[in-house]
Structure 1
Amino acid sequence: MAKAFASQADLTEKRVTFSRLSEHAYAFTANGDPNTGVVVGDNAVMVIDAQATPKAAQAVIEKVRSVTDKPIKYLVLSNYHAIRAMGASAYEAEHIICSEATREMIVERGAQDYKSELQRFPRLFQAADTIPGLTWPTITFRDRMTIWLGKLQVEIAQPGRGHTKGDTVVWLAEERTLFSGDLVEAEAAPYAGDAHFRDWPSALQALRALHPEALLPGRGDPLLGAEEIEEAISGTQTFVEELYRIVSESAVADEPLKQAYDKAVAALQPRYGKWAVFDHCLPFNVSRAYDEAKGLDHPRIWTTERDLETWSVLEPQQ
């Protein structure tokens, strides 16, 4: 039986949770859907990742209002992908922050990415007609910056290329609390369609060096304690490294992309097949890994046409 394209068959609403990570930090999660982080400072709130639409963002805002009436002043984008960025207008934040590299991705491919993800994730993009347009930052940074929410210091940094070239994390040093974006996933397959496979482990090592005690991954449950956090970081790293090793061996041997994909499925499915979005991500991940192994450092843009073409090659109708 042929697999449905990407996540088009995933129509079941997920159970939302809102939990406390540390004194000032909260986690909005939805059973494997994209997570959103919340930091409540002395005088304002910071949200990390906006959700896919203003309608989806309203669910986050309701949870924020259950713990504080302080204004949502800052919105941080961990990367440029539409499921993270397109709900931004709902927050009416004074400042939208991302890395300079993320802004470059929005300029280069934000419009194509939105159409691509709308096609891939119909459930996440309910009420897409309420999206006013691409989300543009008001503040960008190169390596790191600091925001003060009253007396609370919030560090925003780009630890290195991985999930995308512009990945951004948010770190509360006093509380050892980290919002990793999609650099780390927990029981969810990392999406690597725009990835830099060979750089990703170094970015993860930079996160390890912080010694976080609480971590909100891009997808999956909040992580508390060194053991849970290392399990998720190691799981993400092993997935990325195994996938790239398998696909690069095929690419170096000039085997066709379909053959590389079939080898990756056979090797990875037994261990990771039950992870959220595994089937969705793998065709796009293998395509990007194959390109990188062939020497293409800058990821090709995913359009709706390229999405369908790739899927038809790697998951042909039976």
Structure 2
Amino acid sequence: MSKVFASQGDMSEKKISFTEVGRGLYAFTAEGDPNTGVIIGDDSVMIVEAQATPRLARKVIECVRGVTDKPISHLVLTHYHAVRVLGAAEYGAEQIIMSDTARSMVAERGKEDWESEFTRFPRLFQGHEEIPGLTWPTSTFTGSMSVYLGKRRIDIMQLGRAHTAGDAVIYVGDQNVMFTGDIVEYHSACYCGDGHYGDWPATLERIRARQVDAIAPGRGDALVGREMVDAALDSTADFVTSTYRSVAPVAYRQGSLKEAMAACRQICDPKFGDYAIYEHCLPFNVARAYDEALGMDTPRIWTAERDAAMWEALQG
């Protein structure tokens, strides 16, 4: 096993795509890096996910300016992770929206998550000196809320715990399109280090029940057409359940984290080994699955120090 996290050695720039997923709806994607959504309303624009830094946010804005000159009025953050939120200031949005739970997670663990992710993802945090501080919402909600960009209605909803306890999805009904954040991935590993394995499959099924025509996922290509949407829902569910079911028996018999990693690899490597960020996510996913199997409902806070200790245990 490498002595550093896989993502620490990934310094190559990714090819950016800007894909229309519905009328006035776009997915900014970059070969497995965090995605951003764009919703163009009558008079202004909503951004879904801010990116990790102002530098990366400017790449999104450049794409937006290629299709509209309308001002950016709203920014919705599907959860609290640093790679999703710390570029927020660059958009100049009047409204920054999170779920109440996501905001509480910024307060509880936002600083620690920033320090941890900064160490894990040096490429994504190039230009970090511009980050003004933690990103706080101007508006929060529990359950659901609606925003109108002129006549265009956007519904922001919590459909259940999955990638984090505070996950939200964004639905644009006039095009039957959803922006899911990291609840859904496509040919990219799910990061489950702050996840809820027991809830995630049911949350995916609530998305499936809506029969959307397109999804902008958290990572990976835009999903256009129900066949592609269903394939991504299936593969995401398979990834989550395969990870947990391979690790849980090791936890039950109080085996080591290294043994749990080996058990997970046996099941997951053949199916998901070529997915983006698979090697990066694997140790965090195994550690969280181990904890959840032993009854730990709330994920432990990741810090740079805990990251290093886990890595040392896996070197074992």
Tell me if TM exceeds 0.5. Answer: yes
Moved more, 256-265 or 130-139: 256-265
The corresponding residue for 2:97 is: 97
Q: Percent identity?
A: 51
CA distance in 1, matches of 2:221, 2:75: 21
How big is each residue's C-alpha offset from its partner over 1:52-95, in whole Å with a ceiling of 9 and x where there is no partner? 00011000011111111111000000110000000000001000
2:90 aligned with 1:81: no
CA distance in 2, matches of 1:192, 1:267: 16
2:257 aligned with 1:257: yes
AA in 2 matched with 1:168: A
Unaligned residue ranges in structure 2 (runs of 5+): none
The corresponding residue for 2:148 is: 148
1:313 positional shift? 1.3
Moved more, 265-274 or 38-47: 265-274
3-state SS in 1 of match to 2:240: helix
1:256 positional shift? 1.8
1:270 positional shift? 1.1
The corresponding residue for 1:137 is: 137
1:178-189 aligned within 5 A: 178-189=178-189
CA distance in 2, matches of 1:169, 1:66: 25
Q: Do the aligned partners of 1:6 and 1:121 also contact (CA within 8 Å) in 2?
A: no
1:28 positional shift? 0.5
AA in 1 matched with 2:234: S
The corresponding residue for 1:287 is: 287
Unaligned residue ranges in structure 1 (runs of 5+): none
1:267 positional shift? 1.5
1:2 positional shift? 2.5
The corresponding residue for 1:52 is: 52
1:260 positional shift? 1.0
CA distance in 1, matches of 2:74, 2:3: 40
1:3 positional shift? 5.3
CA distance in 2, matches of 1:95, 1:225: 31
CA distance in 2, matches of 1:16, 1:24: 19
3-state SS in 1 of match to 2:31: coil
AA in 1 matched with 2:177: T
CA distance in 2, matches of 1:293, 1:233: 23
The corresponding residue for 2:124 is: 124
AA in 2 matched with 1:42: D
1:234-273 aligned within 5 A: 234-273=234-273
3-state SS in 1 of match to 2:28: strand
3-state SS in 2 of match to 1:35: strand
3-state SS in 1 of match to 2:114: helix
3-state SS in 1 of match to 2:290: helix
1:290-301 aligned within 5 A: 290-301=290-301
CA distance in 2, matches of 1:21, 1:124: 25
3-state SS in 1 of match to 2:270: helix
Q: Do the aligned partners of 1:51 and 1:57 also contact (CA within 8 Å) in 2?
A: yes
1:173 positional shift? 1.3
CA distance in 1, matches of 2:211, 2:70: 30
How big is each residue's C-alpha offset from its partner over 1:213-245, in whole Å with a ceiling of 9 and x where there is no partner? 111110000011111011111100011011111
1:250 positional shift? 1.1
